[in-house]
Amino acid sequence: MTTNVSKPSSATIRYSIRRIDLLRLQLYGYSRNRVVVGFLLLAGVVAACLVVREPYIVHRPLAFKIPFVVLFDALLLGFVFAFQVVLSGLMILQGKHRGLLGEHVLEVRDDGLLERTDFNESLHRWAGFDKVRSTRSSLYIYVTDALVHVVPLRCFASPADAEAFRNRVQEKIDAA
């Protein structure tokens, strides 16, 4: 005998956002921003062109110039990245971020994604959602390009539970 069991109409998760989660979100956003990535690549090319014109480099063989430029650009990008991490970290540490840090409850419902904190309660309709992305540490649910729900994967009992939740949200977005 077969029984037709349907999925419940809602799924709820409870999690806590910490400052490190905000830093991860910031860095993830920088890495996905085409303008920032393009600017860094352009800055690397310009810096490389300026460096290879220096008198102590001009007369060197090409076998020296290519690794030198690659190393120079890697160090430049590493410095910019480190500076950005420190700057973002300081901004996150000094801010209060009320309503963002602390306990969150997300409920996947038929009419939208309901978020509850100690400071607000909001329902985002599925038709307005943009995308869902996963990293090793977090699930990012984009309501818009600027409004993102960060769900740390540590709040799930297992990777399978995290994947099931992500798929559930994606199904709702696709159906809208």
User: In angstroms, rounded to a whole number, what is the distance separating the alpha carbons of residues 165 and 68?
Assistant: 47
Q: What is the DSSP letter of 129?
A: -
- What is the DSSP code string of 82-122? HHHHHHHHHHHHH---TTTSEEEEEEEETTEEEEE-SS-EE
pLDDT at 44: 85
Decide: 140 and 173 in contact? Cβ < 8 Å: no
Which residues of the chain are under the pLDDT cut of 50? 1-9
Q: Give the pLDDT confidence score for residue 10 in this predicted structure.
A: 56
Q: What is the pLDDT of residue 147?
A: 85
pTM of the model: 0.71
